[in-house]
Amino acid sequence: MHYKTLFGLAAGLILVASSQAAPYQSVQLDKSSIQFRYKQMGVAMDGKFSKFQSTLLFDTAKPEQARATIEIDLASIDTGSAEGDDEVLGKSWFHTAAFPNAIFVLKQMTATGPDRYEASGTLSIKGHVRELKFPVKHSALGNKGQLSASFNLARADFAIGEGVWSKFDVIANDIQVNFQLTMLGSK
């Protein structure tokens, strides 16, 4: 093999390796999303939160040192209906007057395979704190990257839907949460 070809191959491998070991230091909120899926009277419904903020430090070469906090403005909910949006802000649901935000704090990120991780941390909603563990996928895009995940939570664990809403005949207990965070690198 010619030395120029060998040098080009080595340089290419270094570039690939360095693009995969990107240190990310912030989240591009306008390119990120937090969505959820639930069942209302047996029919799948989709919703989202339009306002949230995040602090993040994540290096794919050192996932165990990752730190992140995601704070969701619960009043920014879109359940798919204006009536539903108003209802879930009340005391029986999110009680946003007393608990305006849901907060996830990452405690640990563990590599489980190439660009695959397990995140564990705490989720606080309406004064209730629960431990969560869920798989996360990383996708590199130059100096940007994307973390995407999906997990289920039980709304009863957080007292979301009290009183007449505590039964699961109208709104199911299981809520699927999907998020996609677009991260910016330090390069």
Q: What is the pLDDT along the chain (187 residues), one digit of tens a residue?
A: 444 433 444 444 333 443 445 689 999 999 999 999 999 999 999 999 999 999 999 999 999 999 999 999 999 999 988 999 999 999 999 999 999 999 999 999 999 999 999 999 999 999 999 999 999 999 988 779 999 999 999 999 999 999 999 999 999 999 999 999 999 986 4
CATH at 111: 2.40.128.110
Q: Kindly state whether residue 28 falls inside one of the protein's structural domains.
A: yes
Measured in degrees and rounded to the nearest 5, phi and psi for residue 29 equal -65, -35
Residues in the chain: 187
- Residue 22, both tokens: 């990107």
Q: Kindly state whether residue 10 falls inside one of the protein's structural domains.
A: no
pLDDT on residue 21:
53
- The number of domains in the chain is 1
The residue type found at 55 is T
Task: Please report which residue ranges of 82-177 form alpha helices under DSSP H.
Answer: 82-88
pLDDT on residue 38:
95
Measured in degrees and rounded to the nearest 5, phi and psi for residue 149 equal -155, 160
Residues contacting residue 43 through CB under 8 Å, at least 6 positions apart: none
Residues contacting residue 110 through CB under 8 Å, at least 6 positions apart: 63, 64, 117, 118, 120
Q: Give the domain range for residue 127.
A: 23-185
pLDDT on residue 22:
61
Q: Kindly state whether residue 15 falls inside one of the protein's structural domains.
A: no
Angstrom distance (rounded) from CA 37 to CA 144: 27
Q: Kindly state whether residue 90 falls inside one of the protein's structural domains.
A: yes
Q: Kindly state whether residue 101 falls inside one of the protein's structural domains.
A: yes
What's the number of CA atoms in the CB half-sphere (13 Å) around residue 22?
Answer: 24
Question: Any idea what DSSP says for residue 22?
Answer: P
